Chain A
């Protein structure tokens, strides 16, 4: 079945450590996205990528980094510079980067930093 796989489901890290969240899709989608969810807030865009080797900052990119070396993969690194990294992270993809293209989401990774 085609879909988006995020791993791990739960992740625990000590403050000051970088951590990388995995996102893989086999939908052959061009565009991929990372969102963050915090209680009482809508999903907020961290980074997005329209094609391989290209990505753009979203609304809350500070303290995060991404790469897009393969079409299928869009890993997110939460660096020690991110002040409030504990959150639920969702990866998504769409067949093209256009406003009318629906997003397909993974199941998310819950990151806890202590």
Chain B
């Protein structure tokens, strides 16, 4: 089974500060990398799907980068707001097979 690892496991950030966290995955036979945001009592919501090495995607204050050669992706949040508090999941494919999820990074924004 493909191993997708996320770090840190949890993070507390002061409102207004920027932050980032990491998703690591085996680089061989990479196909796609997904980021999801999962707020408490809601369903996970897709943020980004990236497939190309060097890809960068942005959605408002959130952006992500992808390095398929070394097997990692960063998620950045600029100027954190309380509504950013959530668990952020990444997932990757082995070949074109089913997604394997990491355990998530739980982000708490401190007002």
- CB pair A105–B51 under 8 Å, yes or no, is no
Cα separation A58 to B61 with both chains bound (whole Å): 35
Contact of A43 among B42, B45, B101 (CB under 8 A): B101
Contact A42 B102 (CB under 8 A): yes
Known: A42-B89, A43-B91, A108-B43. 19 other contacts (CB 8 A): A35-B101, A40-B103, A43-B89, A43-B101, A44-B101, A48-B98, A59-B1, A99-B95, A99-B96, A100-B32, A101-B49, A102-B34, A102-B49, A103-B34, A103-B36, A103-B99, A105-B44, A107-B42, A107-B43
In contact, B96 and A4 (Cβ under 8 angstroms): no
* Residues in B lying within 8 Å of A, measured CB to CB: 1, 4, 31-32, 34, 36, 41-46, 49, 51, 89, 91, 93, 95-104
B36 neighbours in A (Cβ, 8 Å): 103, 105
A105 touches B31 (CB 8 A): no
B residues within 8 A CB of A102?
34, 46, 49
